[in-house]
């Protein structure tokens, strides 16, 4: 069924218009809590209203557009986020918000009523914000935003004040108990769909993310006079460790389940050309959809830190440790059936990136649709997804929403 009910032209025009709201000279930058973000939010609010949605901002700072249903069945929530990383892409998050809006528009234009309320969401600050934290809106809606976050400051403004500035209210709970299903569309941010010429990816789980800081201590010495056999070069130990982490991550990934490990931050001290490095700091980002695999990696790392060259000691600490989040099997099955109805090829796949869906899954059944992106690139100006691919994902989402609504009380629990 490729005679789509959604409008690809309208989806493309909306994504282009929202992308144009960007910091001058920094395509495509619209960071949460910035004037440009506020401008984008105002544009979205107008589009929500033009679609006949009742527009509000909840206590968590999420922009919501509501379409009332005919029954007392709870809410089907659709959406993603409109904020970007600096110099980011025009599709990451944005495509999911516009698709959610288009599904609502299509249902109204076709006269298709739902028993459930339908809510379109632009979640606040899914990307890492100027306050150093992410998924602020979806955490609030799930009731798990840490209260201590409200005291975080940036340029003299607290997060609590920033929430007020976008229309939220930190003094009121934003947690929802009425959500019966959550669907999010997102670009894949990887090369699998494009390389296999597959229309859609149906997400099975969102990887847990663990970040570990490692400090290596050796001995600084004169680079010209310290004999090679007497050195305790922290950088040599760090190089050995980074290489071992890469090899271990490759071996874990070959087991089949999604697993990655990256040393994304690295520094040495004292950092002079004529001094043997006496210290090194590494920050490891490890991701897995199977918790047992992450536990095994952490155990391996503890052992690896005991095998460094002589004279080098190591200390490590876990900075953050988020568990993997499975998507709801019942909703995945509905998306598979919808893809078959729409003639869309599809595969099941894990998400190595974090998403608002990981927090919505704490309060309701949740599922995600991935669409291909060019060369798998994301978080960069070159990020690109074809409008027709996005529109096909929107059609599959709409079909799944209709099927869910038609089920007895819409319950897939």
Q: DSSP states of 259-272 as a string?
A: EEEEEEEEEEES--
What b/e sequence results for 221-230 when a residue is b if at least 16 CB atoms lie within 10 Å of its CB, and e otherwise? beeeebeeee
Domains and CATH numbers, the chain: 8-207+324-410 (3.40.630.10), 208-321 (3.30.70.360)
**Predicted TM-score (pTM) of this structure:** 0.93
pLDDT value at residue 3 = 83
| Residue spans of beta strands (DSSP E) within 89-165 | 117-123, 153-154, 157-158
The pLDDT tens digits for 152-199 are 999 999 999 999 999 999 999 999 999 999 999 999 999 999 999 999
| Torsion over CA: 346, 3, 182, 386 (sign) | positive
Report the half-sphere exposure of 237 (CA within 13 A, side-chain side): 31
Residue 65, strand partner residues: 55, 120
- What residues form the annotated binding site for allantoate? 211, 274, 287
Return per-residue pLDDT of the chain as tens, 413 residues.
568 999 999 999 999 999 999 999 999 999 999 999 999 999 999 999 999 999 999 999 999 999 999 999 999 999 999 999 999 999 999 999 999 999 999 999 999 999 999 999 999 999 999 999 999 999 999 999 999 999 999 999 999 999 999 999 999 999 999 999 999 999 999 999 999 999 999 999 999 999 999 999 999 999 999 999 999 999 999 999 999 999 999 999 999 999 999 999 999 999 999 999 999 999 999 999 999 999 999 999 999 999 999 999 999 999 999 999 999 999 999 999 999 999 999 999 999 999 999 999 999 999 999 999 999 999 999 999 999 999 999 999 999 999 999 996 545 54
Q: How many CB atoms lie within 10 A of CB 175?
A: 16
In this structure, are residues 381 and 193 in contact, taking their beta carbons and an 8 Å threshold? no
Q: Encoding tokens for residue 390?
A: 């996005």
With H, G, I as helix, E, B as strand and everything else as coil, classify residue 170.
Answer: coil
Nearest Cα to Cα of residue 379 among 129, 90, 98 = 90
Pick out the residues of the known binding site: 81, 92, 127, 186, 211, 274, 287, 379
pLDDT at site 413: 45
Contact of 37 with 83, CB cutoff 8 Å: yes
Contact at 8 Å (CB) between 317 and 212? yes
Residues in the annotated binding site for Zn(2+): 81, 92, 127, 186, 379
Which residue in 164, 160, 134 sits closest to 148, CA to CA? 160
pLDDT of residue 409: 55
Which residue in the block uniquely carries the two structure tokens 């990020």? Answer: 383
């Amino acid at each position: 069924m490729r005679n789509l009910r959604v409008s690809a032209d309208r989806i493309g025009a909306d994504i282009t218009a929202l992308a144009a709201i960007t910091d001058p000279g920094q395509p495509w930058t619209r960071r949460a809590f910035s004037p440009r973000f506020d401008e984008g939010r105002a544009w979205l609010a107008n589009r929500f209203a033009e679609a006949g949605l009742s527009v509000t901002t909840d206590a968590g700072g999420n922009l919501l557009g509501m379409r009332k249903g005919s029954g007392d069945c709870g809410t089907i929530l659709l959406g993603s986020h409109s904020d970007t990383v600096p110099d980011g892409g025009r599709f990451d998050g944005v495509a999911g918000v516009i698709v959610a809006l288009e599904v609502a528009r299509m249902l109204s234009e076709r006269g298709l009523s739902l028993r459930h309320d339908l809510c379109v969401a632009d979640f606040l600050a899914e990307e890492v914000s100027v306050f150093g934290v992410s998924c602020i809106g979806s955490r609030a809606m799930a009731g798990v935003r840490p209260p201590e976050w409200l005291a975080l400051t940036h340029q003299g403004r607290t997060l609590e004040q920033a929430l007020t500035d976008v229309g939220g209210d930190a003094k009121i709970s934003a947690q929802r108990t009425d959500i019966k299903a959550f669907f999010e569309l997102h670009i894949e941010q990887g090369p699998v769909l494009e390389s296999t010429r597959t229309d859609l990816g149906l997400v099975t789980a969102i990887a847990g993310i663990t970040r570990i800081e490692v400090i290596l201590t050796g001995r600084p010495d004169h680079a010209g006079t310290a004999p090679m056999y007497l050195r305790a070069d922290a950088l040599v130990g760090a190089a050995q460790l980074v290489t071992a982490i890469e090899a271990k991550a490759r071996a874990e990934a070959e087991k089949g389940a999604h697993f990655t490990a990256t040393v994304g931050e690295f520094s040495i001290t004292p950092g002079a050309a004529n001094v043997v490095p006496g210290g090194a700091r590494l920050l490891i980002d490890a991701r897995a959809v199977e918790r047992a695999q992450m536990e095994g990696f952490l155990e391996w790392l503890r052992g690896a830190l005991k095998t460094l060259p002589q004279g080098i000691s190591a200390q490590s600490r876990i900075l953050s440790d988020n568990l993997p989040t499975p998507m709801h099997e019942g909703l995945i099955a509905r998306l598979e059936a919808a893809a078959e109805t729409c003639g869309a090829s599809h595969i099941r796949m894990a998400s190595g990136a974090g998403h608002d869906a990981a927090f919505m899954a704490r309060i309701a059944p949740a599922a995600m649709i991935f669409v291909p992106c060019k060369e798998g690139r994301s978080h960069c100006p070159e990020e690109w997804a074809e409008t027709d691919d996005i529109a096909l994902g929107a059609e599959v989402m709409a079909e799944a929403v209709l099927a869910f609504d038609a089920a007895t009380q819409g319950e897939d629990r």
